[in-house]
Amino acid sequence: MLTYLAAAEGATEHNPIVPVWQEIVVGSVAFGVLCFVLIKFVFPQMEKTFQARVDAIEGGIKRAEAAQAEANQLLEQYKAQLAEARTEAARIRDEARADAEGIRQDVLAKAREESDRIIAAGNEQLSAQRDSIVRELRSEVGTIAVDLASKIVGEALADEARTRGTVERFIADLDTAGQR
């Protein structure tokens, strides 16, 4: 205590829990000024900024949700269109397959008809030719045979009448053979 009294010469002793009134005034004014400036000019601005930020974020979320919904709707639409296109394609394929089958049947039928026709025509022609050949042969055979016979027999054909009878018989034989 002695040293302290010496250090604080001339000063009255202070009690630390008794406030100094000048300091109360200074403290009140200083704190008042601080409160005034901060509460009036700074913190309302901050609240505004916070609000703006919240709005911005919420707006962003809302926009994102809208975009998402639109995308989903488009996706559904595309899916529906795709399914429609698939059934359409299947239908077209089935039709085409049926058409192809029909065409094939037609072509086959026509071909068969044509081939029948050609075969019939061929047969007819063949038989006509055969008939004409037979006819030609028949007329020629007599002459050739007579020639041949006359050459073989020569001038030894005394009995003309008998000869003629033989020839006719021969030809009749030929006729029956040709008809067979």
Interface positions with another protein (CB under 8 A): 1, 3-4, 6-8, 10-24, 26-28, 30-31, 33-35, 37-39, 41-50, 52-53, 56
Which residue in 3, 21, 5 sits closest to 13, CA to CA? Answer: 5
Structure tokens that stand for 177 in this block: 């053979």
The CB-of-36 to another protein minimum distance in angstroms stands at 9
If the CB atoms of residues 54 and 128 are measured against another protein, the closer one turns out to be: 54
Residues 6+ apart with CB under 8 A from 142: 167, 171, 174
If the CB atoms of residues 15 and 179 are measured against another protein, the closer one turns out to be: 15
Q: What are phi and psi of 8, to 5 degrees?
A: -100, 50
Using alpha carbons only, give the angle 70, 76, 77 rounded to the nearest 5 degrees: 90
The CB-of-63 to another protein minimum distance in angstroms stands at 16
If the CB atoms of residues 26 and 89 are measured against another protein, the closer one turns out to be: 26
Structure tokens that stand for 82 in this block: 């795709």
The CB-of-39 to another protein minimum distance in angstroms stands at 4
The CB-of-76 to another protein minimum distance in angstroms stands at 36
If the CB atoms of residues 22 and 143 are measured against another protein, the closer one turns out to be: 22
If the CB atoms of residues 51 and 81 are measured against another protein, the closer one turns out to be: 51
What is the per-residue DSSP string for 30-79? HHHHHHHHIIIIIHHHHHHHHHHHHHHHHHHHHHHHHHHHHHHHHHHHHH
The CB-of-77 to another protein minimum distance in angstroms stands at 36
Integer Cα distance of 149 and 19 in angstroms: 180
